[in-house]
Amino acid sequence: MRKIVCDLHAELVRNHLVAWTAGNVSGRIPGEDLFVIKPSGVSYDELTPEAMVVCDLDGNLVEGEHAPSSDTAAHAYVYRHMPQVGGVVHTHSTYASAWAARDEAIPCVLTAMADEFGGEIPVGPFALIGDDSIGQGIVATLKGHRSPAVLMRNHGVFTIGATPRAAVKAAVMCEDVARTVHISRQLGEPLPIARADVDRLYDRYQNVYGQRSPR
C-alpha cells in the first residue's frame, strides 16, 4: 500500500491537479484499521514508498519518520464513517476549486458526468482545518449521494473510491468536467440531462462498461 499510494501521487502531478506540496492520496490497508497517507510538506519528487506514513483510523501516527499530512484527520474521519471506502484523495485542482469558491455544484450536463458521478458534483460546507469538521462535511455530503467527489466550499476537492486508484480517477474526472462545464458556461447556458437518462447512463457505466476488472 505504501508503494501504491506513493505511485498515485505521481498521477496528481501528471494530471496537473496539484501545486507545490498541496494535495494528498491515502489508502486503507485491507483488513486493518490503518491507512497509508502522504507525509506533510514533503515535495512530490522526494516521495518514496518509505516516506509514506501509516496512521490509525483516529489519525494517529503509527509508523513513519515524517509527520502525516495536515489533512489526515479528514481522511481518518472518512475511513471511520464509510467502511466501503478504500481510498481518499484531496486536491485544490483549479477548475473544481473555482466552482467550490462560488459554493456552486457542478450541474450534470455531460454524459461523462452521468457515467462517473451519477448526477451533479455536490458542494460541502465551509470547514476549517484542525479538527473533524472537514471530515464531517465530506461524509454528510457524500453519504446517500452517488458522486464520489465533493467540492468543499472555499477550499477544494475530496474524492473517495473503493481503492486509492479509483479515488484518483474520480479526482482527475472531477477536474476534467469542472473545466468543460466552466467553458460551456462561457458560451451560454449548458443543457441539463434528464434524470431518467442520467440514471441509465450511470447504471450502464457502473455495471456494464469496461473489462470488469476492479476499478
Element (H, E) at 155: none
Position closest to Zn ion via CB: 156
**Closer CB to Zn ion, 87 or 156, in the complex:** 156
CB of 115 to Zn ion, least distance (A): 27
Closest-CA residue to 108 (of 158, 136, 149, 140): 149
Shortest Å distance, C-beta 176 to Zn ion: 20
Considering only residues 154 to 173 of the shown chain, the ones binding Zn ion according to CB under 5 A are: 156
Give the residue with the Cβ less far from Zn ion, 90 or 165.
Answer: 90
Long-range contact pairs involving 32-37 (C-beta distance under 8 Å, separation at least 24): 33/57, 34/62, 35/75, 35/76, 35/79, 36/1, 36/2, 36/4, 36/5, 37/5, 37/68, 37/69, 37/71, 37/72, 37/75
Type of residue numbered 147: S
Question: Which one from 7, 115, 132, 199 is the annotated catalytic residue?
Answer: 115
- 99 touches 151 (CB < 8 A): yes
At its nearest, how many Å lie between Zn ion and the CB of residue 107?
Answer: 24
Between 39 and 156, whose beta carbon lies closer to Zn ion?
156
Give the interface segment with Zn ion, choosing from 60-68, 132-140, 151-159, 181-189 (CB under 5 A): 151-159
Give catalytic status of residue 209 as yes or no.
Answer: yes
**Of 45, 41, 40, 9, which Cα lies nearest the Cα of 27?**
9
Please, are residues 86 and 60 in contact by the beta-carbon 8 Å criterion?
no
Identify any residues that bridge with 149 across adjacent strands, giving them in sequence order. 159
Report the residue number, 26 or 118, with the smaller CB distance to Zn ion: 26
State in angstroms the smallest separation of the CB of 202 from Zn ion. Answer: 28
Which of 74/198 has CB closer to Zn ion? Answer: 74
Catalytic, 44? Answer no
Shortest spacing between CB 23 and Zn ion, in angstroms: 8
Contact letters for Zn ion, residues 25-64 (x by CB under 5 A): ----------------------------------------
Query: Alpha helix (H) ranges present in the chain?
Result: 2-14, 72-81, 94-101, 111-117, 133-142, 164-187, 195-207
State the residues that interact with Zn ion by CB under 5 A.
Answer: 156
Could you give the residue numbers annotated as active site?
115, 209
